[in-house]
Amino acid sequence: MSLSMYQASVPVCIRALKNLTGVLRKGEAFAETKKIDPSVLINDRLAPDMFPLSRQIQIATDLARRGVARLAGVEAPKFEDSEKSFADLHDRINRTIAYLESFRPQQIDGTEDKPLVVELRGNKVDFTGKDMLLNFTIPNVYFHCTIAYAILRHNGVDLGKQDFLGTMPR
Protein backbone atom coordinates (compact mmCIF):
# COMPACT_ATOMS: atom_id res chain seq x y z
CA MET A 1 0.00 0.00 0.00
CA SER A 2 1.34 3.41 -0.90
CA LEU A 3 1.15 6.53 1.20
CA SER A 4 -1.34 9.04 -0.13
CA MET A 5 -0.99 12.81 -0.24
CA TYR A 6 -3.93 13.07 2.15
CA GLN A 7 -2.27 10.72 4.65
CA ALA A 8 1.00 12.65 4.38
CA SER A 9 -0.66 16.02 4.93
CA VAL A 10 -3.88 16.31 6.91
CA PRO A 11 -3.26 13.76 9.70
CA VAL A 12 0.39 14.84 10.01
CA CYS A 13 -0.53 18.51 10.46
CA ILE A 14 -3.38 17.69 12.84
CA ARG A 15 -1.09 15.56 14.98
CA ALA A 16 1.58 18.27 15.15
CA LEU A 17 -1.02 20.87 16.14
CA LYS A 18 -2.65 18.64 18.75
CA ASN A 19 0.77 18.02 20.27
CA LEU A 20 1.39 21.76 20.20
CA THR A 21 -1.84 22.20 22.18
CA GLY A 22 -0.46 19.88 24.86
CA VAL A 23 2.78 21.83 24.98
CA LEU A 24 0.85 25.09 25.34
CA ARG A 25 -1.31 23.63 28.12
CA LYS A 26 1.85 22.83 30.05
CA GLY A 27 3.10 26.37 29.48
CA GLU A 28 -0.20 27.78 30.68
CA ALA A 29 -0.16 25.60 33.81
CA PHE A 30 3.45 26.58 34.48
CA ALA A 31 2.60 30.29 34.32
CA GLU A 32 -0.34 29.79 36.66
CA THR A 33 1.63 27.69 39.17
CA LYS A 34 4.62 30.03 39.19
CA LYS A 35 2.38 33.13 39.17
CA ILE A 36 3.99 34.39 35.96
CA ASP A 37 2.01 36.79 33.81
CA PRO A 38 1.12 34.59 30.79
CA SER A 39 2.09 37.42 28.44
CA VAL A 40 5.70 36.95 29.52
CA LEU A 41 5.73 33.48 27.96
CA ILE A 42 3.48 34.37 25.03
CA ASN A 43 5.76 37.25 24.03
CA ASP A 44 9.07 35.53 24.73
CA ARG A 45 11.51 34.53 22.01
CA LEU A 46 14.75 32.58 21.88
CA ALA A 47 16.77 35.34 20.22
CA PRO A 48 16.15 39.03 19.51
CA ASP A 49 15.72 38.39 15.79
CA MET A 50 13.24 35.53 16.22
CA PHE A 51 9.47 35.71 16.47
CA PRO A 52 7.81 35.29 19.88
CA LEU A 53 5.83 32.25 20.96
CA SER A 54 2.51 33.70 19.77
CA ARG A 55 3.87 34.28 16.26
CA GLN A 56 5.34 30.77 16.12
CA ILE A 57 1.85 29.37 16.74
CA GLN A 58 0.33 31.73 14.18
CA ILE A 59 2.83 30.68 11.53
CA ALA A 60 2.50 26.95 12.26
CA THR A 61 -1.28 27.15 11.90
CA ASP A 62 -1.05 29.31 8.79
CA LEU A 63 1.32 26.89 7.10
CA ALA A 64 -0.84 23.85 7.88
CA ARG A 65 -4.05 25.56 6.82
CA ARG A 66 -2.67 27.12 3.65
CA GLY A 67 -0.63 24.10 2.62
CA VAL A 68 -3.58 21.72 2.70
CA ALA A 69 -5.85 24.30 1.05
CA ARG A 70 -3.35 24.75 -1.80
CA LEU A 71 -3.29 21.02 -2.41
CA ALA A 72 -7.09 20.95 -2.48
CA GLY A 73 -7.23 23.96 -4.78
CA VAL A 74 -9.24 26.11 -2.38
CA GLU A 75 -8.62 29.41 -0.62
CA ALA A 76 -7.76 28.98 3.05
CA PRO A 77 -9.65 31.16 5.52
CA LYS A 78 -7.67 34.11 6.81
CA PHE A 79 -7.09 34.38 10.53
CA GLU A 80 -6.27 37.68 12.21
CA ASP A 81 -2.94 37.57 14.03
CA SER A 82 -4.33 39.07 17.22
CA GLU A 83 -3.81 36.32 19.80
CA LYS A 84 -2.80 37.74 23.19
CA SER A 85 -3.59 34.89 25.59
CA PHE A 86 -3.22 31.15 25.87
CA ALA A 87 -6.98 30.88 25.31
CA ASP A 88 -6.60 32.82 22.05
CA LEU A 89 -3.76 30.55 20.91
CA HIS A 90 -5.74 27.41 21.78
CA ASP A 91 -8.70 28.78 19.83
CA ARG A 92 -6.53 29.42 16.78
CA ILE A 93 -5.13 25.90 16.87
CA ASN A 94 -8.61 24.41 17.36
CA ARG A 95 -10.01 26.39 14.42
CA THR A 96 -7.13 25.21 12.26
CA ILE A 97 -7.64 21.57 13.26
CA ALA A 98 -11.38 21.85 12.55
CA TYR A 99 -10.59 23.29 9.12
CA LEU A 100 -8.11 20.51 8.36
CA GLU A 101 -10.65 17.90 9.50
CA SER A 102 -13.10 19.25 6.92
CA PHE A 103 -10.95 17.91 4.06
CA ARG A 104 -11.54 14.50 2.54
CA PRO A 105 -8.93 12.27 0.86
CA GLN A 106 -10.43 12.76 -2.60
CA GLN A 107 -9.68 16.50 -2.34
CA ILE A 108 -5.97 15.93 -1.71
CA ASP A 109 -5.01 12.58 -3.21
CA GLY A 110 -3.53 12.73 -6.67
CA THR A 111 -1.99 16.18 -6.17
CA GLU A 112 1.62 14.92 -6.18
CA ASP A 113 2.39 16.53 -9.55
CA LYS A 114 -0.04 19.43 -9.29
CA PRO A 115 1.80 22.66 -10.20
CA LEU A 116 1.65 25.20 -7.37
CA VAL A 117 3.08 28.66 -7.02
CA VAL A 118 3.77 29.92 -3.52
CA GLU A 119 4.78 33.48 -2.78
CA LEU A 120 7.60 33.58 -0.25
CA ARG A 121 8.86 36.97 0.89
CA GLY A 122 7.82 38.59 -2.35
CA ASN A 123 9.23 35.85 -4.59
CA LYS A 124 7.15 33.29 -6.44
CA VAL A 125 8.36 29.73 -5.98
CA ASP A 126 7.16 26.91 -8.24
CA PHE A 127 6.41 23.59 -6.58
CA THR A 128 4.71 20.34 -7.37
CA GLY A 129 2.19 19.32 -4.74
CA LYS A 130 4.53 16.65 -3.38
CA ASP A 131 7.52 18.99 -3.23
CA MET A 132 5.53 21.74 -1.53
CA LEU A 133 4.17 19.30 1.06
CA LEU A 134 7.39 17.43 1.79
CA ASN A 135 9.96 20.19 1.37
CA PHE A 136 8.06 23.28 2.52
CA THR A 137 4.79 22.76 4.39
CA ILE A 138 5.62 19.85 6.73
CA PRO A 139 9.17 20.98 7.60
CA ASN A 140 7.92 24.49 8.34
CA VAL A 141 5.00 23.32 10.49
CA TYR A 142 7.43 21.21 12.52
CA PHE A 143 10.00 24.02 12.70
CA HIS A 144 7.53 26.48 14.21
CA CYS A 145 6.08 23.86 16.57
CA THR A 146 9.64 23.06 17.66
CA ILE A 147 10.49 26.70 18.29
CA ALA A 148 7.29 27.13 20.35
CA TYR A 149 8.32 24.07 22.39
CA ALA A 150 11.85 25.45 22.79
CA ILE A 151 10.64 28.87 23.97
CA LEU A 152 8.55 27.29 26.71
CA ARG A 153 11.26 24.76 27.64
CA HIS A 154 13.83 27.56 27.81
CA ASN A 155 11.56 29.33 30.31
CA GLY A 156 11.51 26.31 32.60
CA VAL A 157 8.32 24.56 31.51
CA ASP A 158 8.72 20.86 32.26
CA LEU A 159 8.59 19.51 28.72
CA GLY A 160 10.19 16.46 27.21
CA LYS A 161 10.45 14.79 23.86
CA GLN A 162 7.22 12.88 24.47
CA ASP A 163 5.31 16.16 24.83
CA PHE A 164 6.48 17.16 21.36
CA LEU A 165 5.86 13.75 19.82
CA GLY A 166 2.58 13.03 21.60
CA THR A 167 1.07 9.60 21.97
CA MET A 168 2.27 7.22 19.30
CA PRO A 169 -0.45 6.15 16.88
CA ARG A 170 -1.25 2.46 16.64
**Confidence at residue 120, expressed as pLDDT on a 0 to 100 scale:** 87
| Residue 82 in domain | yes
* pLDDT beyond 90 at 91: yes
pTM of the model as a whole: 0.95
% of the chain surpassing 90 pLDDT: 94
| Residue 170 in domain | no
Give the CATH number, domain containing residue 136.
1.20.120.450
Structural domain harbouring 66: 5-165
* pLDDT beyond 60 at 10: yes
Domain count, the chain: 1
| Residue 101 in domain | yes
For residues 48-73, average pLDDT: 98
Q: How far is CA 7 from the centre of its chain?
A: 16
In degrees and rounded to multiples of 5, residue 64 shows phi and psi of -65, -50
For residues 114-125, average pLDDT: 92
**Confidence at residue 1, expressed as pLDDT on a 0 to 100 scale:** 55
Residue 95, helix vs strand vs coil? helix
**DSSP assignment of 124-157:** EEEEEHHHHIIIIIHHHHHHHHHHHHHHHHHTT-
**Confidence at residue 99, expressed as pLDDT on a 0 to 100 scale:** 98
